[in-house]
Amino acid sequence: MTLASSSRLSDEEKLNVLQRLDQFRQWHSLDDKRYCLVCGEMITGREILVIGDTRGSAQLRLICPTEQCNAMPMEWVPPTEEVLIKIAMMEAERRWLCFVRQAGRAMQFYQRKRTSNTISRIRPNPPLGRW
């Protein structure tokens, strides 16, 4: 199966393909947005990839445009207020976890530095005249 490039499909054709192949949600324009439940990205109809031969000899499929994500229409939801709130909460949680991780690293660095300073102060200097 080959990737149907955007240049081969006019806007009207791509919208027609989206409306025909997405059995779960309606598409009114290529600017309609969806939230991908697999990769967590917001995508538009313009970005969605059409896979297959556009000349009709092979079955067409729609997949998420995000790299390494092969989500299909059933895994895309309209960005309702509830979805947007959940996205914001997940992003805040991700940022919080990054902050906690950075604080943990800083504490480890501080403890190592403090311990190495303590050890170096405990070691006696060799007497000057004996060597």
Write out pLDDT tens, residues 31-60.
999 999 999 899 999 999 999 876 665 688
Nearest CA to 30 out of 49, 15, 9, 41 is that of 15
Give how far the C-alpha of residue 73 lies from the chain's centroid of Cα atoms, to the nearest Å. Answer: 17
Is residue 123's pLDDT more than 70?
no
**Does one domain contain both 34 and 90?**
no
> Total structural domains in the chain?
2
One-letter identity of residue 70: N
Helix (H) or strand (E) holding 36: strand 33-36
**Does one domain contain both 71 and 11?**
yes
**Does one domain contain both 65 and 7?**
yes
Find the domain containing 49 and state its range.
3-79
Tens digit of each residue's pLDDT (9 = 90 or more) over 89-122: 888 998 999 899 998 888 888 887 777 665 555 6
Give the pLDDT score at 108: 85
**Does one domain contain both 63 and 93?**
no
**Does one domain contain both 108 and 68?**
no
